[in-house]
DNA sequence: TTGAAAGCGCTAACAC
DNA sequence: GTGTTAGCGCTTTCAA
């Protein structure tokens, strides 16, 4: 149905090899020949068959991005950074939505085994380090965003969870809070672990005893945050602030507060993480931690493409970027010390 | 590096053809042979090379989705419907972000010409009907969501823009509004055109003269909505309600109102379209039109896959689904009639 | 039920 | 500067 290279060659009166040269290298061909070929290409509306090309060259110029959940703007913002940088380097980016399911991540990773993609960037905190490391051991190109993996072949970019977690805590402590809840994501996620670590360190630094009953899991989504908040209220332990490991869960906290008539920020301070778009619009506006998402995507894909080709920057594998605490209305309130 | 079919064949003591049979048809092979082959496949961790397979079979089992902007949950919600339905039918879905740029849509459409994808679903209102129709004429599989194209080969699913637009207007009129602004998207988009049509028809039905100065373009995004609202305020024409062609622009209206001290809904009623997640959380909550996004994605991909295979449902090409007006705080207020 | 072999459309090594 | 040709890894006739 479609024109093939041999048709173009016939029409231009040259060999297939010459057509290929014109289309790919552009050098080593006489200008006149080039023109003939290009004219034939246009007339036949020729597009090289990707499968044949990929098979022959053993590469695809495709990069896959496996995102934990494309409904969450945290991921889509990063993806835009990836997409634009990759595009400039002639790579195509294909986005895959894992919908929070590790099995789907694994399913999409088969794109590497069957060579549909030259490499895959994972923005997902669920699959264990070892599993990803094994893939890299087998020679597949993998990069990760938002986590750190100890493996010489895996580029990583992330913000220092422990660091910003402590910042959040210092802010809440400065407002006079002492009974601070930590609302965790699902415990398997590295983000959860590290943010909890920051929470604990901040308590320790300030000589405040850790009380395990102030920590709840909320699975990184809104209903999880709501349910966790309900459980906390049930427990009847007093607390004056909630540090949620992401904004989604903080939204759940807002819902629970609305239900129980708890007023934010004067009865309860709330801080989230991610700077979701909603966090700015909701009332009261939600204090949160902002990460340079677009930039993170752009940096890692640049490194990744380099690795898949010249590998000039072999020595630079791990990128830590700064985040920023945005203090908004949900926590901007000094309580009286007890 | 990776094992190929010939390696598996050698290890199992059979021919490549037999390995292929086992992996693909599963019938016409003796159980014992099957087992031998499967064992070899596992031991070698064999994954068929997609490029070779695609080249030979002249198909990829890949479906591309070109979304106008993946930062907008309207699109990602639809995509989830597509993804899950396609996955159940052994198709892989790859998402492409056009970032509101028609050139990018065209760029991604080359996935069809080079046979990277068996078909492409477009969720984008920008590219003209004719352009998409021409592709279909050439034999490429294309489906569209959120618009209607008069072409026998292009499956469409959409909600009736004119209809819900009139509903919105009837609601505003019932609240006593007479000077109602219509905030349009970019004029090229079909959605813009049809929603405007609904606005006009509602005016006519109610014998209210159309005043062109009450219509502004906002390009479907927040800043566009903000700027349009600024222009309207500059004009010093009185109006008591804004019907924005989507929620993003309505958010821009909120920003402009905040800046100018205009209170919603008592000084100005606002209604959007899309039921963006933010619309529920913002204060006052935004009245809007909800579409069954997930279902729309699922329905169209099911039809699309059928079309690419048996084409059993050839006669059923156009799907119109119902939308729902959600009246929330931003417009739930009766003004005194003047 | 299984194997041999052609060929999908392209690129790259080699020859001229 | 250009042409010839082998071969990328797979599936699918056709023959046995």
The predicted-structure confidence for B33-69, as pLDDT tens digits, reads as follows 999 999 999 999 999 999 999 999 999 999 999 999 9
How does pLDDT run across A168-208, given as a tens digit for each residue? 999 999 999 999 999 999 888 888 999 999 999 999 999 99
Mean pLDDT of A274-291: 94
DSSP classification of residue B272: -
Instruction: Determine the protein residue whose CA lies at the shortest distance from the C1' of D5.
Output: A17
B203-258 pLDDT per residue, tens: 999 999 999 999 999 988 899 999 999 999 999 999 999 999 999 999 999 999 99
Question: Two tokens at A321?
Answer: 């970027």
Token pair 């590219």 is found at: B127
Place of tokens 């619009």: A281
Q: Is A285 on the interface with B (CB under 8 A)?
A: no
Nearest to B162 by CA among B139, B207, B204, B194: B194
Do A94 and B99 make contact, defined as CB atoms within 8 angstroms? no
| SS3 (DSSP) at B121 | strand
pTM of the model: 0.89
Residue B64 pLDDT? 98
Residue contact B71–A80, C-beta within 8 A: yes
Task: Please report the pLDDT score of residue B321 as a whole number.
Answer: 96
pLDDT at A304: 98
DSSP code for B52:
H
Question: Would you place residue A1 in the very low, low, confident or very high pLDDT band (cuts 50, 70, 90)?
Answer: low
B103 in A contact zone (CB under 8 Å): no
Find the mean pLDDT for residues A316-322: 96
| Strand boundaries in B41-159, DSSP class E | 62-67, 92-97, 119-123, 141-145, 156-159
The answer to whether B55 CB sits below 7 Å from nucleic acid chain D is yes
Task: Tell me the per-residue pLDDT of A76-88, one tens digit each, with 9 for 90 and over.
Answer: 999 999 999 999 9
pLDDT in tens, B162-206: 999 999 999 999 999 999 999 999 888 888 999 999 999 999 999
B118, B62 contact by CB (below 8 A): yes
- Does residue A336 register a pLDDT over 70? no
Can you give the three-state secondary structure of B147-193, one letter per residue? CCCCCCCCCEEEECHHHHHHHHHHHHHHCCCCCEEEEECCCCCHHHH
* Rg, chain B, Cα only: 26
Q: How confident is the model at residue A338 (pLDDT cuts 50, 70, 90)?
A: very low
In angstroms, how far is C13 C1' from B278 CA? 60
Least confident of A91-95, A250-254, A268-272, B185-189: B185-189
Residues of chain A with Cβ-Cβ distance to B226 below 8 Å are none
DSSP state of B39: H
Burial (0-12, 13-18, 19+ Cβ within 10 Å), B58 = exposed
* Nucleotide closest to residue B37 (CA–C1'): C2
Q: Which helix (H) or strand (E) holds B259?
A: helix B247-260
pLDDT above 70: residue B336: no
- Reported as a single tens digit per residue, the pLDDT across B258-298 is 999 999 999 999 999 999 889 999 999 999 999 999 999 99
Q: How far apart are CA B328 and CA B279, in angstroms?
A: 9
Establish if B247 touches chain A: CB-CB under 8 angstroms.
Answer: no
Under DSSP, the state recorded for B84 is H
Q: B60 and A51: CB-CB below 8 Å? A: yes
Query: Of all nucleotides in the shown strands, which has a C1' nearest the CA of B25?
Result: D11
> Strand C: which bases are under 7 Å from protein Cβ?
1-5, 7-13
> Between A31-44 and A16-24, two packed helices, what is the crossing angle to 10 degrees?
90
Cα–Cα distance, B98 to B125 (Å, whole number): 11
Q: How far is the CA of B52 from the C1' of C15 (A)?
A: 29
DSSP state of B282: B
| Confidence at B78, pLDDT banded by 50, 70, 90 | very high
pLDDT in tens, A8-20: 999 999 999 999 9
Per-residue model confidence (pLDDT) at position A177: 96
Q: Hey, is B28 helix, strand or coil?
A: coil
Contacts of A281 in chain B (CB under 8 A): 251, 278, 281-282
Report CB contact under 8 Å: B114, A54. Answer: no
Mapped onto helix, strand or coil, the DSSP state of residue B327 is: coil
Protein residue nearest nucleotide D7, by CA to C1': A56
What is the average pLDDT across A19-28? 88
Token pair of B261 as six digits: 């001290």
Cβ of A48 and B114 within 8 Å? Answer: yes
Look up the protein residue whose alpha carbon has the minimum distance to the C1' of C5.
Answer: B17
């Amino acid at each position: 149905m479609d024109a093939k290279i041999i048709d173009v060659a016939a029409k231009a009166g040259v060999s297939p090899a010459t057509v290929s040269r014109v289309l790919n290298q552009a050098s080593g061909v006489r200008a006149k020949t080039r023109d003939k070929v290009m004219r034939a290409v246009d007339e036949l509306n020729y597009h090289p068959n990707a499968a044949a090309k990929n098979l022959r060259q053993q590469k695809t110029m495709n990069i896959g991005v496996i995102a934990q959940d494309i409904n969450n703007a945290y991921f889509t913002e990063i993806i835009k950074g990836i997409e634009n940088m990759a595009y400039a380097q002639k790579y195509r980016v294909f986005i895959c939505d894992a919908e929070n399911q590790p099995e789907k991540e694994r399913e999409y990773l088969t794109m590497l085994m069957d060579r549909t993609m030259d490499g895959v960037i994972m923005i997902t905190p669920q699959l264990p380090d070892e599993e990803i490391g094994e893939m890299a051991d087998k020679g597949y190109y993998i990069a990760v965003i938002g986590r750190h993996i100890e493996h010489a072949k895996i580029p990583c970019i992330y913000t220092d969870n422990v660091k910003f977690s402590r910042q959040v805590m210092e802010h809440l402590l400065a407002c006079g809070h002492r009974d601070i809840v930590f609302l965790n994501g699902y415990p398997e996620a590295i983000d959860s672990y590290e943010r909890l670590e920051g929470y604990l360190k901040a308590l320790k630094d300030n000589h405040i005893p850790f009380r395990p009953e102030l920590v709840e899991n909320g699975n990184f989504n809104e209903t999880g945050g709501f349910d966790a908040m309900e459980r906390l209220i049930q427990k009847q332990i007093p607390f004056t602030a909630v540090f949620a490991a992401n904004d989604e869960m903080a939204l759940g906290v807002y819902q629970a507060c609305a239900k129980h008539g708890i007023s934010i920020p004067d009865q309860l301070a709330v801080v989230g993480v991610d700077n979701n778009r909603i966090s700015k619009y909701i009332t009261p506006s939600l204090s949160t931690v902002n990460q340079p998402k677009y930039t993170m995507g752009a940096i890692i894909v640049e490194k990744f493409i380099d690795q898949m080709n010249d590998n000039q920057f072999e020595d630079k594998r791990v990128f830590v970027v700064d985040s920023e605490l945005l203090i908004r209305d949900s926590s901007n309130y000094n309580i009286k010390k007890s």
